[in-house]
Amino acid sequence: MNRLPNHQSDRNTGNHKPVKPMIMVVDDEDSVLKMTELVLEEEGYEVEPCLTGKEAADKFNKSINAVVLDISMPDMTGLQVFEKIKAKNPYVPIIFHTGSVTHSDDRRDIRRQFRPHAYVIKGSDPEQLLDTVASAVKSYENILENVKFNEELCRRNAKIDELNKDLEKKVKEQVDEIQRINKLKRYLSPQIVDTVISKGSDICLENSRKLLTIFFSDIKGFTTMTENLEPEDTVNLLNEYFPEMTKLVFKHGGTIDKFMGDGLLAFYGDPLEYKDHAEKAVRTAIEMREVVNSLQSRWKHMNCELHMSVGICTGYVTVGNIGSKERMEYTVIGNHVNLAQRLQSEAEADQIFVNQRTFSMVKDTFETEIIPDITLKGINKSIVAYKVLGIK
């Protein structure tokens, strides 16, 4: 009966030629070695005979499919050879072919420590040896297939991990972009957001000193007017007021800095630069005044009559993201921000006050009235301001 596993193809040539399994036989008794070699060759195996343990350890290579190994040898014991071979290839099956271990307790101890594929007693029926070698060769083929499968599985898992990392990176980039867009939408007009996104740059993250026009509006007498309102009514009123004001800021290309109680701070000329930022700010103020007056009917049921005042100041300020790692705000800081707020405080209901530089940039477009030597809180010296009356 032929116990050899199925013949394999010649992988190098592609021809279907029989590839005989290679069996290493190690025994220091020449007669036993030759007899074992003969039995295996008659069965169809290639045999690599070794008379010493050292020879076996040196000759062992990946072409060996199984090892038939004597235990008791003078130069290097079979157990030492076992360890050296397993260090080179932990999967190759090793059969102890010995007459030196006769007691079951001894075999059990060796099996626990070395875990050989099997024991075959020298001088026993050759069929037992052939059956054991055949099972070892088949077991080794299965092990190699499993190893190959696991290697392929590891390779594919590594590829999946790589793809997952790429996917995570892309998702993170998309989430960051969405967060960036949402952040921009909080204080930029839709058209400016579209322009910034199309440029593909973090234009808003650059802190710089620029010539801008600062806009500050406030509802006159708001604190006194809302003393008799419930808090939720006050919030509802502001939630009706601010969206209308925000629309007008965005309409003229302004950037919302922040809402401060009933006040609104905005600026013009950043992140996208344009020369007529002062004119855009003044047009926003005029239209705000008109919209507030048109909305009075909404608030009559609360016994509220809203009037706003606006301060506008053109000058050099620092603009950019300012704050901490946990919380950043896109904002403007500088003396002209304070001056815009002081001008608003000085203005009466429905009035729009601008500073000298703003006036010089819009005087040909709007009717104005000079306010000489105006003294503002927190400003050391008096300044010249102008009241905007309307469009020429």
**Domain chopping of the chain, boundaries:** 22-151, 203-391
Q: What is the pLDDT of residues 122-159, one digit of tens each?
A: 888 899 999 999 999 999 999 999 999 999 999 999 99
Strand 46-50 to strand 255-260: parallel, antiparallel, or no bridges (unpaired)?
A: unpaired
Contacts of 128 (CB under 8 A, 6+ apart): 120
Architecture of domain 22-151: 3-Layer(aba) Sandwich (3.40)
Which pLDDT score is estimated for 171? Answer: 86
Compute CA distances 216 → 136, 144, 260, 323, whole Å.
Answer: 89, 78, 10, 21
Q: Is the pLDDT of residue 7 over 50?
A: no
Q: Any idea which of 17-26, 79-88, 131-140, 200-209 has the lowest mean pLDDT?
A: 200-209
- The two tokens of residue 158 are 């590594």
**Cβ-contact 347, 310 below 8 angstroms:** yes
Average pLDDT score over residue span 160-189: 80
Q: Any idea which of 19-23, 193-197, 198-202, 258-262 has the lowest mean pLDDT?
A: 198-202
Query: What region does 321 belong to: left with phi over 0, alpha with psi -120 to 50, or beta?
Result: beta
Strand 383-391 to strand 366-374: parallel, antiparallel, or no bridges (unpaired)?
A: antiparallel
Q: Is the pLDDT of residue 169 over 50?
A: yes
Expressed in angstroms, the distance from the first to the final Cα of the chain is: 114
> What pTM was computed for the model?
0.56
Which pLDDT score is estimated for 13? Answer: 46
Mean residue pLDDT of the chain comes to: 86
Q: Is the pLDDT of residue 209 over 90?
A: yes
Average pLDDT score over residue span 293-305: 80
Q: Is the pLDDT of residue 177 over 50?
A: yes
- Phi and psi at 262, nearest 5°, equal -100, 10
Which pLDDT score is estimated for 10? Answer: 47
Using pLDDT thresholds of 50, 70 and 90, give the confidence band for residue 196: low
Which pLDDT score is estimated for 12? Answer: 46
Which pLDDT score is estimated for 245? Answer: 94
Q: In the CATH hierarchy, which top-level class contains the domain 203-391?
A: alpha beta
Q: Is the pLDDT of residue 204 over 90?
A: no
Q: What is the pLDDT of residues 14-38, one digit of tens each?
A: 455 567 999 999 999 999 999 999 9
Q: What percent of the chain has pLDDT over 70?
A: 87
Q: What is the pLDDT of residues 339-352, one digit of tens each?
A: 999 999 999 999 99
Q: What is the pLDDT of residues 44-63, one digit of tens each?
A: 999 999 999 999 999 999 99
